[in-house]
Structure 1
Amino acid sequence: MSENACIGLSSAEAAARLQKFGPNAVQEAATHPLLTFLHKFWAPVPWMLELTLVLELVLAKWPEAIIIALLLIFNGILGFSQEQRAQKALELLRERLRIEARVRRDGKWCSISATELVPGDCVHIRLGDIVPADIRLTEGQILVDQSALTGESLPVDRKAEDTVYSASTVRRGEATGEVTATGAQSYFGKTAELVRGAGAKSHLEILVLAIVRYLVIMDGLLVAAILAYATWMQMPLAEILPFALILLVASVPVALPATFTLATALASLSLARQGVLVTRLAAIEEAAAMSDLCSDKTGTLTQNRLRVSAVEAGPRQQRQELLAMAALASDEATQDPIDLAILDAAKAEGATPPQRQDFIPFDPSSKRSEAVFAKDGQRWRALKGAPQVIAALCQGVHWEKATEELASSGARVLGVAAGPEGSPQWLGLIGLADPLREDAADLIAKLQNFGVRVRMVTGDSPATAAHVAKELGIPGRTCDREAIHEDCGVYAGVFPEDKFHLVQSLQKQGHIVGMTGDGVNDAPALKQAEMGVAVESATDVAKAAASLVLTQPGLQGILTAVETGRRVYQRMLTYTLNKIVKVFQVALFLSLGFLLFHDFVVTPLLVLLLLFANDFVTMSLAGDHVRPSPRPDRWDVRSLVWSSLVVAGAWLIYIFLVYGAGILMHLSLPARQSLDFLGLVFSGLANVFMVRERGHLWASLPGRFLLWASLADVLVVSLLASQGWLMAALPLPIILVLLAATVLFTLLLDQIKVPLLRRLNRA
């Protein structure tokens, strides 16, 4: 690449132009917070509450109407605040997922944020980049995908003097050019948005909503039975209809949207602080379920600090000539670790390459790079790439033994050749050493202890890959790309496009697959995998396709994501279990109590207070202390439902015993209704503490928020009952005895729960 084609700016000039033209970005129009808040009252869940509110107002039932209005406002504020918190998390991701640009400043190539580009900057773009601004090319040739601009799927060729536009994607080649427009002045108007689908529902949320739908159907049948019974008994419709609506509302997951938003927002913020950026929130659940991780070698398992460790020159060739030709087929502007290592070695050895006329950058499909130069009046080519590829272009080369010896030591081996057009001569081999990351073997062992099988996927030779895998402790045989559909621990000699077929093959076998990648050709595999992971050095296209983006090298971020995802799963499993149990207990108690005793065992007003009491505590589960599952998490709906039914049946017996105790104590109906209300609140709290732990409830300490929320819940409802506020008064000794009885019943039920729920955790 000609040094004079694009000179670039000095730092002082760039700073002055940044002040004049502004940052290379366009601020998105934000929705007014008031509209966002009002939107919380426009959804199926609020509609049911709003319908009930209107009915209570028509019937002049003011206490019930006030409680419903407060419940609506409470959940609206809660949902709004957590959505704002999630939005701040996404803004953090957008800030850290910014596009980087290779720019020439003060005569040196460096990497800066694309937002700092200004007109006049000299920029180098290559395969996998999202074009950061409008650029007039000065040299090189690229194939550009402009679908983000024009909607046309076919890429177009661009060469010197052509213009490429912001948000285009480089599909092939490399080029250098001068920035002509940035920010709002660019053709596209802004850089490409990388964080997509962050509001998408996860499989977990869809599953819980499906379960709740069936619960509402069950309640619908109970309501129909109550209405039929009331009609037969000629009871006033004005009394029965509010009760029926309250029964339905009691089954609606009022706190579900806020709970999921809070859980995922907290998880994404926690991961961001630890160097893992989530581009779609469903990835948190996928991380919990991941059973297989296909990991790149370079930069993920190794330090990505390549250096030339060996130079095997041919019998009549000089070491300096080999390094000079290898350096000629490399380019500093690409900032590629292999090219930089070779250029450093050539400089250290004093190997000066001739003037280059043209350069063809490395292409993963051809596995080589080329440079054109003139020698003795002829057009010559210097080639660098995979030994088998370079040797195939030469005549009579015996490269296998020397390559095998270098590869068996764990080195990455390149072949080098040079010669007149069409007849290159073999020069020899270069061995590149990339030390293993110190933490790689330990992290692989930890992932495997979590039930995640780590498979290494590399373009290196089988000998090199097998040596590295042995040092890392990766089990399984080593296969080449022809055995991509077989069960192997290491896949060697793999092209980037092979990764897509590998992911598909593992998915067909029932695996939940994670795949790491960094290049544009890795994007299909990253998109196909349940958990696509763009590593620290990934191209912009790879980042856009991935669900997780690592900002630090190595596998630590993936291990962190797995642990975090499994904790979120445990919290949501607790929420789901608790919801199913409470709906069955409350719905069956209210309906059966009415049908058997011909009275409201709990008033509609107290049912609304119960919703407040339950939701206040269950919301705190989103930040509860939990232990990650020892194996990949899979939802077993049948086991979940049947286990919940057994626990719900036990709590149903408990609440009927409470009702019977009220009769034995000769309490009035209003007092019995207060006693039943307290029984439902206390048993609801006890159930949360019982199902949050798959073992015995004392096996782990609950979160601080859960403890304080539960204590506050007990104190408030006990105060209301003892003072006779919103319900008939109960003596304090009765309240304390009921609380103690609930604790004893919980400890007894915990002995039954352990074998039932352990299956859900596969412990």
Structure 2
Amino acid sequence: MAKIDEFKEKSIEETVKELGTSLERGLSEEEARRRLQKYGYNEIPEKEEPLWHRIFRRFWGPIPWMIEIAALLSALVKHWEDFAIILTLLFVNAGVDFWQEHKALSALKVLKEKLARKALVLRDGKWKEVDARFLVPGDVIKIKIGDIIPADVKLDHGGDYILVDQSALTGESLPVTKKPGDVAYANSVVKKGEIIAVVVATGLDTYFGKTVQLVAKAEKEQRSHFQEMVIKVGNFLIALTLVLIAITIFVELNRGKPFIELLQFSLVLTVAAIPVALPAVLTVTMAIGALYLAKRQVIVSRLAAIEELAGVDVLCSDKTGTLTMNKMTVSDPYTVGNYKPEDLMFYAALASKEENNDPIEIPIFEWLKKHNLYEKVKECVQKKFVPFDPVRKRTEALVECKGKKLVVTKGAPQVIIELCDKSEFDVEKAYKKVEELAENGFRTLGVAYKAPQEEKFHFVGLIPLYDPPRPDSKEAVQEAKRFGVEVKMVTGDNIAIARYIARILGIGDKIISARELRGEQEPKEYIVLAEIIAKALMKTLHNLSDKEIEEKTKQIVELVKKELQNAPLPKGIVRKHESEIIKIIEEANGFAEVFPEDKYFIVDKLQKAGHIVGMTGDGVNDAPALRKADCGIAVANATDAARAAAALVLLKPGLKVIIKAFEIARQIFGRMEAYTIYRIAETIRVLFFMTLSILIFQFYPITTVMIILLALLNDIPILSIAYDRVKIAEKPVRWDFYELNVMSFWLGVAGVLSSFTIYFLLERYWHLPQDLIQSIIFTKLIVAGHFTIFNTRVKDWFFKKPWPSAVLFIATQGTSFLGTVIGVYGFHLMTPIGWKWGIFIWGYAFAWFLFNDAVKMAVLKMYRERKFMFAPGHFKLIKKIFSA
């Protein structure tokens, strides 16, 4: 918690004494300068990573290293075409990643710019305006209506109270009343009143500063599942490639093969095997998906979030402004006797001042306008108006309507009821209604009137107010459940309001207070604490004045709190372990009375439990959780800070647009998964076929030129998978590296079997020359490889819907045809094979394509039944390498 919590329970006198300041003169300029050196500026320090380091990081890591080595070796053997292609892929990947990070870093900058710029401060007994960044703890400042509070402060004299809007910080749906002795947070807005205050915390020590630190912490900790998947796939294929190439070089050197030829061959085989284009293909797939989302009013600021959204199984949704309208509305009015709702609202309006734009009073006037009663109010003239204050807890006005004078009042229902003639209505029933409305989370106003000469008021009734759900929120929650996503409501409002809204939306009734998560004492623990304190009081509080007893009690309570932080709790009280807290969070339908760090905490614990977490929000208080979540979603009308911290920004109000985003995200994930399986399978096919051919048969099945052409013709057309039609998963999806391994392995094995079969036919049965065999095998690898994508694109028989898109079909089959033409005519790159062999290869490849589809279906069946098609222990090694 922020430093301001230390001052919540202290009196203004204690605060002034501890901070060494004076309410009459403030700090001296000399003392302010000294404290500025000690505490630093009242701002969020900007710690930017040097540009050179941000660029350098893009070229550091296993995949970049291998790409760079491949480029270097290309230059050494003067393969300039390869060199240019490899460097282009390297720089494109680095550029896209750099741009994504640049967008994300704007979160901290926006939060920094939100701090107030000016402050009216008392220095050396004189009021002066200074830049807010020069404020220090102990400064005495004046805050008034319209001001953004520049630091965390303790309120003093100079006014009865202020009304503060801190919804962007705490998530509370209504402005809160702050009176002398209360604390107020930096960056909240004064809606009414004027008061003197003492600065108790500045910069990163403020409540707002802690929020910024949480955003920064989340930024450092974050690594998407997409990034982890690319790294794991890359590491696995790099390790596999290096091992097989090392074996090949060792064996061939012993056979007398020239080292420079082996180096050259190993280079091109590395280029063909390592997934140089893997990040680019997956990034392009997500980028095109981002364009689809943009057309549906969803802006993507971090591409990896699309893949994360596909796997989201828990959606933590802020209530105020996200699930609800963030606008107070009148519910069903309650009236007594012969009074009608129209009478109730009329008298309430007379006890209000429309020009004040009080959030509590705005819905009253809106109700009258909706029911065509507004003009009736305008016929009356307010002669006197006494605004609401925390002591009286009501407003009062003297009005004149058509020559008749009335005194009208509205406010806390208990206060209003006690002012009224109780013989005119059923008091017990009225109080019961007040309790019922409070239990359902309503903010209730009592309304009454009287003639100026009368002593008692006449009770009219109660006005229930609440922040209503958005019209589409309930449907959106149900749709999310249909997609296998659990919605958990997270709000700064009290638990009664949270339960009421959750019940309306069908989220569930199990709403818990964040106090339980923060480890605050439970009821039985309060009893134990009371006993501890009582025993201490019995021993120490003798012959003391009331003031001394009060001060001593505070000291003892603080001492007990400090002791209990480290000391073992009394018998029968057990602190919750992390596993228990996680269980509470998983089972809860929502959380109330949360602070920004609680939202962050909730997201963090759900992630540790293995969930992929989405978080929606609109305020500064949501920014840390939005950044921490796997997929942060800023809703329409969100603050700049929330938008900057989020990965997705909704331009259209309501949550229904997120449901469409779920569909698109899962389609994109399906495309990426299909490509990844294809790419691993193709690497296994080429690597194992080449290595086994060389080691066992001492035969190079394709030349270096063929390998380069194979690499180019395989990856480039597969970019079109970004436009493919994909079945939308009914449940959240995520990367299952074991399934990827199993499927890729067996499709790879089938490909190796296919290649060796045609090799034996060509060499042993038809006795063709080696150069012709190489050309035929090259053509076969091109055609069969592009057929493989149609095996991996659906987890069903290839002919089942959704059928492939025209773009994917034309791109892949067109490239297969181009490869066939190269094989048929040679073009001085290889021995031409002629159309007879070209047609044969297409028929042969299609037959094996059907066989591969049968292999795929068998693997899927075995995997779903957890019966794997390999000897025990064989694949565990691959799994360990893949997960390293």
The aligned counterpart of 1:52 is 73
Task: Evaluate the alpha carbon distance shift between residue 756 and residue 171 of structure 1 in structure 2; reply closer, same or farther with a 3 A threshold.
Answer: farther
- Is 2:465 aligned against 1:444? no
Change (3 A) 1:211 1:232: same
Give the superposition deviation at 1:647: 1.3
Query: Structure 1 vs Structure 2: percent identity of aligned residues?
Result: 29
Structure 1: 5+ residue runs without aligned partners? 1-30, 58-64, 100-127, 139-145, 177-191, 361-365, 376-381, 419-424
2:190 is matched with: 174
Higher alpha-carbon Rg: 2
SS at match of 1:698: coil
- Are residue 256 (structure 1) and residue 278 (structure 2) matched? yes
1:429 CA drift (Å): 4.2
User: Which amino acid in structure 2 is aligned with residue 670 of structure 1?
Assistant: D
Corresponding residue to 2:809 among 686, 694, 707: 707
User: Is residue 329–residue 359 contact of structure 1 (8 Å, CA) maintained in 2?
Assistant: no
* Cα distance in 1, alignment partners of residues 671 and 638 from structure 2: 32
| Higher mean C-alpha deviation, range 719-728 or range 274-283 | 274-283
CA distance in 1 between partners of 2:238 and 2:590 (Å): 50
C-alpha change, 1:251 and 1:209, in structure 2 (3 Å) is farther
| Stretch deviating more after TM superposition (589-598 or 272-281) | 272-281
State the distance in 1 between where 2:429 and 2:383 align. Answer: 27
Match for residue 238 of structure 1? 260
In structure 2, the partner of 1:716 is 818
8 Å contact from structure 1 (residues 307, 433) kept in 2: yes
CA contact (8 A) 2:321 2:618 kept: no
3-state DSSP of counterpart to 1:756: helix
Structure 2 residue aligned with 1:532, among 593, 618, 632?
632
> Which structure 2 residues correspond to residues 203-602 of structure 1 after superposition, within 5 A?
203-297=225-319, 299-302=321-324, 306-312=328-334, 319=344, 323=348, 327=352, 331-332=356-357, 340-345=362-367, 348=374, 350=377, 401-403=432-434, 405-406=436-437, 412-415=442-445, 429-432=462-465, 437-457=470-490, 469=502, 472=505, 474=506, 476-481=508-513, 485=584, 490-491=589-590, 494-497=593-596, 499-602=599-702
Could you tell me how far apart the structure 2 residues matched to 1:436 and 1:163 are?
30
Cα 1:322–1:172, aligned 2, differ >3 Å: closer, same or farther?
farther
Mapped to 1, the partners of 2:297 and 2:272 lie a distance apart of 41
Deviations 1:557-585 (A, max 9, x none): 22122222222221221121112111111
Contact 1:325 1:417 in 2 (8 A): no
* Structure 2 residue matching 1:666: 3-state secondary structure: coil
Alpha-carbon distance, 1:608 to partner:
0.6
Superposed CA deviations along residues 113-137 of structure 1, whole A, max 9, x for unmatched, are xxxxxxxxxxxxxxx9964996688
Higher mean C-alpha displacement, 449-458 vs 552-561: 449-458
In the alignment, structure 2 segments of 5+ residues that lack a partner are 1-50, 122-130, 153-168, 170-185, 193-211, 399-408, 419-426, 449-456, 518-583, 867-884
Residue 461 of structure 1 and its aligned partner are, at CA, apart by 7.2
Separation (CA, whole Å) in 2 of partners of 1:614 and 1:476: 51
CA displacement, residues 374-425 of structure 1 (integer Å, 9 cap, x when unaligned): 99xxxxxx9979x899999xxx9997621455579x884334699xxxxxx9
Task: Pick from 723, 729, 732 the counterpart of residue 835 of structure 2.
Answer: 732
CA distance in 2, matches of 1:440, 1:359: 34
| Structure 2 counterpart of 1:124 | none
Aligned-pair CA distance for 1:671: 0.8
Residues 475 and 75 from structure 1, CA distance in 2 versus in 1: closer, same or farther, beyond 3 angstroms? closer
Instruction: Work out the CA distance in 2 between the residues paired with 1:761 and 1:536.
Output: 41
Kindly indicate whether the alpha-carbon contact (under 8 Å) linking 1:82 and 1:262 is maintained by their aligned counterparts in 2: no
After superposition, what is the alpha-carbon deviation per residue over 1:73-97, rounded to whole angstroms, capped at 9, x for unaligned? Answer: 764797699789x789979x99xx9
Are 1:685 and 2:786 an aligned pair? yes
Distance in 2 separating the partners of 1:151 and 1:607: 67
Q: Answer yes or no: is the 8 Å Cα contact 2:330–2:363 preserved in 1.
A: yes
CA distance in 2, matches of 1:658, 1:575: 26
353 and 595 in structure 1: CA distance in 2 versus 1, 3 angstrom threshold: farther
- Equivalent runs, 1:153-172 vs 2, <5 Å: 159=143, 171-172=187-188
Contact 2:149–2:190 under 8 Å retained in 1: no
- Residues of 1 paired with 2:653 and 2:283: CA distance? 29
For 1:265 and 1:151, how far apart are their aligned partners in 2?
45
Alpha carbons of structure 1 residues 459 and 66: separation in structure 2 relative to 1, 3 Å: closer
State the shift of 1:491 in Å.
Answer: 3.5
1:79/1:292 CA distance change after superposition, 3 Å:
closer
Aligned partners of 1:285, 1:227: CA distance in 2, in Å?
39
Specify which of 71, 85, 92 is matched with residue 85 of structure 2: 71
| Structure 2 CA distance for partners of 1:461 and 1:88, relative to 1, 3 Å | closer
Q: 1:74 to 1:716 in 2, by over 3 A?
A: farther
Q: CA deviation at 1:70?
A: 5.6
**Paired residue type of 2:746:** V
User: In structure 2, what is the equivalent of residue 746 of structure 1?
Assistant: 849
Q: After TM superposition, give the deviation of residue 260 of structure 1 in Å.
A: 3.0
Indicate yes or no: 2:804 matched with 1:697: no
- 2:685/2:749 contact within 8 Å kept: yes
* Counterpart residue type for residue 661 of structure 1: L
Judge conservation of contact 1:479–1:490 (CA < 8 Å) in 2: yes
Aligned-CA RMSD value: 5.5
Whether the aligned pair in 2 keeps the contact of 1:475 and 1:489 (CA below 8 Å) is no
- Output one character per residue of 1:547-604: Cα deviation in whole Å (capped at 9) or x when no partner: 3222222112221222222222212211211121111111111111111121211111
**1:428-472 Cα shifts (integer Å, max 9, x gaps):** 743236665554443333221211122344567777666655554
Q: Alpha-carbon deviations, 1:476-535, whole Å to 9, x = none?
A: 434342677355564475445554454345445433222322333333433343333222
Equivalence for 1:642:
742
Distance 1:373 1:667 in 2: 105
Letter in 2 for 1:231: L
Normalised to the residue count of structure 1, the TM-score between the two structures is 0.70
Counterpart CA distance in 2 for 1:627 and 1:647 is 21
Conservation of the 8 A alpha-carbon contact between 2:77 and 2:264: yes
Which of the two has greater helix per residue?
A: 2
SS at match of 1:171: coil
May I ask how many residue pairs the two structures share in their alignment? 649
Q: Secondary structure at the match of 1:254?
A: coil
- In 1: Cα distance, 2:746 partner to 2:512 partner: 52
TM-score (norm 2): 0.61
